[in-house]
């Protein structure tokens, strides 16, 4: 765009014109005398021919002493000529086939939207049709994105069609070339060496923005072993939870192995990247799903609480129970005993002997016992240690991570030729293009306009937890030790749940038989617990235990004590909001603000050994603590088991458990 600088005193005054004006080089158009140019040559420059009399222009006034402050005044914000007619862009019928249809620039956001739609298979014509309809509804083009052209979209489509993942026949060389071409998408890369394996960390600019937006004061969870049996290298995913508690992947790490000592190689680089973008960013909690994860290193890097998710183990046990045990009642009893063993371990009243007794009592169920003894019994010791040391994430978190894992499988592992899964260059290319596009479109408000092109991998809805909240209480029938949930999709269909009230409940629906947490089991469990027919969830038990410990052992330091009380009051205030919402059968994720998280972490790292408070300090805080604790406990009982913020649970539980470990 042309501009006319003018400095008057302390003001900077600049006039900007649209690049298609103000001169009009069309037939009969008006050209300013000072802008005459030489007659057309055989190969004329394209710039003069783009002048079509557009009168869109604005003025920028800026104080030289305050360069960050500017006043923008639009004298004409429509891209029209002096007659008020569109003079360039898709709405200008006379510009068809000319350079005037070309939009000089579009925003990065619109470009990402177009690329995402093209990657998932939406035709060019459909994209342009939807775009033109939107521009017409608003009365014409108002910004540069409104000047999007068919030619530009077609060029992007052609570029995608001609691209290939195999940049070299050697997979390692191809990966290195891909990294060189996509530096903006890489936050960490180390090739194979004599002592270290290959590591590649992928994070696009959009993923970084989601990490900043939803991770600040919130939760980051990990899915550490995706594709272990199919892909050449497994995928370690880091995910955040949006405002609806749906998952968004914020980074993918690809490496041959995930020993506990390898995480330090890339986790610090990820933290440095987000902290460079936003120095105030602070994580509220980190959820792991692998007992070998380096918890101390995670705490050191993010300065946050760490929790454990048991969803992967529960999923494997559930799926193999259904597949290997044909008798439904025996299957339910096996599941119940496993659930009780895990619960006792988390509550500190059980150990390895519970699983040994389990194998002795069900020796007749040889099919499942052989699987359990060969696959899980060698690992159960590590799981017992981590379940005792860390608080368990809630069922809502497990349902969300499980949903992400299933959706990633649909979106990634859908190739006809399975041999391609042994190419790492194919994996990184598809993650950075097509799979990334699906997750971007999940957050795109206009995705409903393209619903006719949806496939299974494009669909993303509520998690099982959220679906369970939509089931009315009246649709749940209690029949002795069983629960039945009436189906709304198929009239007359009733789903039967075995072990209702347990975190290891089994339903006869298709989703549950695949090993997943289904909405029927979640809903029946909530009903049983709300009516006092089942014990509280493990996460709520640990939360109440943490609150009791805070009440009995306030810290010596008065500043830390004040911070702890402020944090408790903050949680109480937010849970009060949940209490009001709970009456309307609605829940929401509550994240603890970063300043209160910092206060909690100051308690965590203030001393390696907790000390008992003296009598005066105990009396000083007793009334406040008892009041807060009493209100929290009362709200928990009304809200239900897993409505408690898993951020708050992690802060309280992990801090106290960490202190207890140091004490022991």
Cα torsion 316, 322, 327, 329: sign: positive
pTM higher than the cut 0.85: no
- Backbone phi and psi for residue 494, each to the nearest 5 degrees, phi listed first: -130, 130
pLDDT value of position 258 = 56
Condensed to tens digits (0 to 9), the pLDDT of residues 258-309 reads: 544 578 889 999 999 999 888 899 998 999 999 989 899 999 999 999 999 9
Residue with tokens 């059980």: 350
User: Do residues 499 and 339 lie in contact, with contact meaning Cβ atoms separated by under 8 Å?
Assistant: yes
The pLDDT of residue 32: 62
Low-confidence ranges of the chain (pLDDT < 50): 1, 3-9, 38-48, 101-103, 259-260, 585-622, 624-625, 635-652, 655-664
* pLDDT tens profile 35-77: 555 444 444 444 445 677 888 888 888 776 676 778 888 888 8
Backbone angles phi, psi at 661, to 5 degrees: -65, -45
The per-residue pLDDT for 76 is 86
Tell me the C-alpha distance between 435 and 478, whole Å: 42
At residue 594, φ and ψ (nearest 5 deg) are -60, -35
Secondary structure of residue 90 in the 3-state scheme: coil
Alpha helices in 37-149 (DSSP H): 46-49, 108-119, 124-137
């Amino acid at each position: 765009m042309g501009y006319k600088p003018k400095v008057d005193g302390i003001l900077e005054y600049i006039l900007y014109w649209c690049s298609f004006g103000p001169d009009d080089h069309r037939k009969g158009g008006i050209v300013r005398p000072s802008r005459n140019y030489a007659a057309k040559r055989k190969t004329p420059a394209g710039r003069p021919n783009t002048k079509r009399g557009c009168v869109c222009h604005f003025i920028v006034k800026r104080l030289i002493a305050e360069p960050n402050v500017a006043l923008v005044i639009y004298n004409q914000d429509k891209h029209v000529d002096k007659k008020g007619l569109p003079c360039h862009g898709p709405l200008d019928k006379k510009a068809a086939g000319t350079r005037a249809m070309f939009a000089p620039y579009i925003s990065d956001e619109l470009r990402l939207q177009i690329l995402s739609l093209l990657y998932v298979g939406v035709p060019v014509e459909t994209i342009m049709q939807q775009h033109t309809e939107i521009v017409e509804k608003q009365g014409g083009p108002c910004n540069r994105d409104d000047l999007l052209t068919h030619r530009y979209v077609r060029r992007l489509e052609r570029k995608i069609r001609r691209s290939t993942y195999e940049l070299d026949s050697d997979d390692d060389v191809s990966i290195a070339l891909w990294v060189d071409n996509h530096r903006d998408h890489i936050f960490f890369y180390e090739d194979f060496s004599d002592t270290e394996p290959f590591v590649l960390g992928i994070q696009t600019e959009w993923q970084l923005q989601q990490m900043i937006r939803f991770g600040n004061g919130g939760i980051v969870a990990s899915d550490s072993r995706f594709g272990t049996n199919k892909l050449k290298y497994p995928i370690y995913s880091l995910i955040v939870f949006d405002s609806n508690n749906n998952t968004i992947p914020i980074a993918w790490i690809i490496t041959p192995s995930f020993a506990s000592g390898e995480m330090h190689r890339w986790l610090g680089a990820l933290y440095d990247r987000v902290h460079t973008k936003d120095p105030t960013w602070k994580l509220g909690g980190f959820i792991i799903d692998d007992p070998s994860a380096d918890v101390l290193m995670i705490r050191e890097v993010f300065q946050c609480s760490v929790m454990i998710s048991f969803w992967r183990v529960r999923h494997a046990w559930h799926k193999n129970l259904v597949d290997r045990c044909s008798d439904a009642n025996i299957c339910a009893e096996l599941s119940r005993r496993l659930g009780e063993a895990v619960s006792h371990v988390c509550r500190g009243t059980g150990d390895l002997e519970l699983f040994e007794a389990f194998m002795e009592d069900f020796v007749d169920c040889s099919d499942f016992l052989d699987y359990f003894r060969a696959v899980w019994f060698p690992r159960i010791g590590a799981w017992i240690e981590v379940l005792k040391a860390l608080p368990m994430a809630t069922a809502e978190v497990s349902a969300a991570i499980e949903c992400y894992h299933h959706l990633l499988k649909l979106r990634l592992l859908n190739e006809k030729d399975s041999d391609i899964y042994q190419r790492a260059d194919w994996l990184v290319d598809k993650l950075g293009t097509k799979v990334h596009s699906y997750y971007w479109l999940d957050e795109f408000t206009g995705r409903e306009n393209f619903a006719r092109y949806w496939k299974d991998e494009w669909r993303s809805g509520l998690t099982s937890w959220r679906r369970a909240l939509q089931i009315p209480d009246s649709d749940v029938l209690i029949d002795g030790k069983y629960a039945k949930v009436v189906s709304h999709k198929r009239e007359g269909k009733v789903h039967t749940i075995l072990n209702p009230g347990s975190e290891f409940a089994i339903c006869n629906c298709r989703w549950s038989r695949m090993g997943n947490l289904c909405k029927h089991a979640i809903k029946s469990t909530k009903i049983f617990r709300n009516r006092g027919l089942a014990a509280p969830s493990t996460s709520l038990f640990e939360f109440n235990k943490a609150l009791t410990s805070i009440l009995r052992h306030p810290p010596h330091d008065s500043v830390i004590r004040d911070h702890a009380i402020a944090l408790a009051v903050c949680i109480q205030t937010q849970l009060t909001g949940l209490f009001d919402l709970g009456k309307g059968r609605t829940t929401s994720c509550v994240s603890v603000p970063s300043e209160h998280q910092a206060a909690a972490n100051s308690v965590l790292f203030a001393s390696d050994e907790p000390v008992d408070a003296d009598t005066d300090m105990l009396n000083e805080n007793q009334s406040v603590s008892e009041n807060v604790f009493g209100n929290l406990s009362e709200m928990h009982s009304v809200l239900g088991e897993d409505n408690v913020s898993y951020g708050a649970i992690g802060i309280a539980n992990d801090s106290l458990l960490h202190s207890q470990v140091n004490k022991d």
